[in-house]
């Protein structure tokens, strides 16, 4: 019987022993195999070359450089003509016509009425706060105090001016007559009397600012390098509820729309901009852009860019310093790393020897090759074309000028042809011997998991990136994936 067979009993005991050994140590075996796999994977990872991909994006080569400019304009600080309490009639930052009422002085303080800002005034204040917040940087905290003065003045003006006096031109002589001003003593002076107020008029058209900063007399001839230090800049608010004395500074008037912006330049920046006579400027305060005349000037031995404008001053009448961006990088296209660029050689073939397949539209060539027995056989091939260039036309004078058809040169892959192959024309004895080569710049596209050469046309470049045309035939498009470190890859390598 099987149960009494010694061999059978030995087999049973051996089977039970194996089950006991593996049953107790199965977890250890699995863990050991897992560690071994991880170790082998780590060795392969450390010893193989890593290929990094790059997603093609669109945009300029780099961000335009930003500067902080100092504003020079034609302006004058006006003084109080008598003493008294001030009533402001012209709004901060508004234009006023000549003979427009700017402020009034009275011997008694005008009773304060409860005023509320309307929606339009609140919207203007919100816009001012948003513009300041957008351009604020912690390193230029002193600008906070200047904005505080400006905001206080705006609120004071919006809340204190009502009725007809809220117009930008305020009171003109005609308005004064309509409002009942006594014109008996009016001549060509700068003020008239109305009730207990002496109304002061603007001497010329201009923009009213109720502040001063000591730069009002600065010009390109007397500006110094120290004037560009924003940390030492101080702006004084001239609006007050207290009485003023005769001769006190009371407001500033900007009398010319023409203005200049001075920006400090490094030697490298000065060389880069030296040939420019005009330049496009983006003002970071409100993202507005404007073109101005440009020149490089010297101040205290340093180089500065001087940008002259003839409009737009009213937007920045309350600012002495402006953060700007010079719009100099106008070249846009597809942005790729320089490390992705490779060169590849191709055979060049004339289009006059090509035919087009009517069914597929593919460009084909008829190649004549010699067989081993010395016979000549022809084969129609359709090589991959990587670039097509139009050939320059040559004029042929034969009494009458005959228009010449456009001809092209095809750059084809060298894997489908051999140097010395002959390309023939149908119904012609003309032959072209393959052999001429030319190189193209390109990158390796890896959208399909393996490296494929794609031609590029470089428009501009810096130390790290190049801008290439997005309209290159057989080229790249946005969001293509290419090899970043092209020196580690060969064409048709499978990468993943």
- State the distance between the two ends of the chain, measured CA to CA, in whole angstroms: 62
Cβ pair 103, 89 in contact under 8 A: yes
DSSP readout, 171-211? --HHHHHHTT---TT-SSSSEEEETTEEEEE-SSSEEEESE
Q: What percent of the chain has pLDDT over 90?
A: 35
- pLDDT for residue 476 is more than 60: yes
DSSP state of 285: T
pLDDT of res. 79: 92
Distance CA 421, CA 419 (A): 6
CA angle 304, 306, 311 (to 5 degrees): 155
pLDDT of res. 166: 33
pLDDT of res. 49: 58
Q: What is the pLDDT of residues 118-144, one digit of tens each?
A: 677 777 777 777 777 766 666 555 556
Average pLDDT over residues 439-465: 90
Distance CA 74, CA 219 (A): 9
Cβ pair 345, 379 in contact under 8 A: no
For the chain, what's the residue count?
Answer: 496
Poorest-pLDDT segment among 90-99, 204-213, 343-352? 90-99
pLDDT of res. 139: 58
pLDDT of res. 187: 44
pLDDT of res. 153: 54
Distance CA 467, CA 58 (A): 9
pLDDT of res. 382: 87
- pLDDT for residue 201 is more than 80: yes
- pLDDT for residue 361 is more than 90: no
Q: pTM for this structure?
A: 0.54
| Strand 408-412, strand 342-350: pairing | antiparallel
């Amino acid at each position: 019987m099987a149960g009494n067979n010694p061999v059978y009993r030995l087999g049973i005991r051996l089977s039970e022993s194996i089950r006991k050994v593996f049953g107790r140590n199965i977890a250890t075996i699995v863990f050991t195999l897992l560690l071994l796999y991880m170790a082998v994977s780590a060795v392969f990872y450390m010893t193989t070359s890593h290929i990094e991909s790059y997603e093609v994006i669109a945009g300029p080569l780099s961000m335009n450089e930003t500067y902080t400019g100092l504003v020079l304009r034609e302006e004058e600080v006006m003084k109080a003509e008598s003493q008294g309490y001030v009533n402001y009639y012209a709004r901060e930052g508004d234009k006023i016509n000549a003979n427009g009422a700017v402020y009034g002085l009275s011997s008694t303080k005008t009773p304060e009425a409860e005023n509320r800002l309307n929606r339009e005034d609140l919207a203007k204040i919100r816009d001012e706060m948003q513009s300041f917040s957008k351009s604020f940087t912690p390193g230029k905290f002193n600008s906070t105090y200047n904005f505080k003065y400006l905001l206080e003045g705006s609120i004071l003006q919006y809340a204190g001016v009502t009725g007809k006096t809220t117009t930008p031109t305020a009171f003109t002589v005609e308005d004064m007559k309509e409002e009942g001003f006594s014109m008996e003593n009016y001549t060509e002076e700068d003020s008239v009397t109305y009730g207990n107020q002496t109304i002061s008029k603007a001497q010329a058209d201009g923009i009213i600012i109720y502040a001063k900063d000591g730069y009002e007399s600065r010009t390109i001839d007397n500006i110094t390098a120290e004037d560009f230090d924003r940390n030492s800049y101080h702006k004084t608010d001239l609006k007050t509820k207290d009485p003023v004395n005769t001769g006190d500074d009371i407001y500033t008037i900007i009398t010319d729309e023409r203005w200049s912006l001075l920006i400090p330049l490094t030697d490298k920046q000065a060389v880069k901009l030296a040939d420019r006579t005009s330049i496009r400027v983006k003002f970071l305060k409100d993202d507005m852009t404007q073109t101005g005349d440009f020149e490089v000037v010297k101040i205290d031995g340093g180089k500065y860019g001087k940008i002259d404008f003839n409009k737009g001053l009213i937007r920045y009448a309350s600012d002495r310093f402006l953060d700007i961006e010079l719009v100099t990088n106008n070249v846009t296209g597809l942005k790729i790393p320089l490390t992705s660029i490779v060169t590849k050689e191709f055979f060049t073939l004339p289009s006059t020897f090509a035919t087009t397949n009517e069914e597929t539209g593919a460009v084909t060539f008829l190649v004549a090759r010699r067989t081993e027995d010395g016979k000549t056989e022809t084969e129609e091939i359709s090589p991959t074309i990587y670039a097509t260039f139009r050939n320059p036309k040559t004029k042929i004078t034969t009494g009458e000028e005959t228009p010449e058809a456009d001809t092209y040169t095809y750059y084809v892959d060298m894997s489908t042809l051999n140097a010395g192959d002959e390309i023939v024309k149908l119904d012609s004895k003309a032959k072209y011997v393959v052999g001429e080569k030319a190189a193209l710049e390109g990158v390796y596209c890896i959208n399909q998991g393996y490296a494929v050469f794609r031609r590029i046309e470089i428009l501009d470049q810096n130390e790290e990136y190049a801008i290439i045309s997005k309209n290159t035939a057989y080229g790249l498009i946005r969001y293509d994936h290419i090899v970043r470190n092209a020196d580690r890859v060969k064409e048709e390598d499978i990468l993943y």
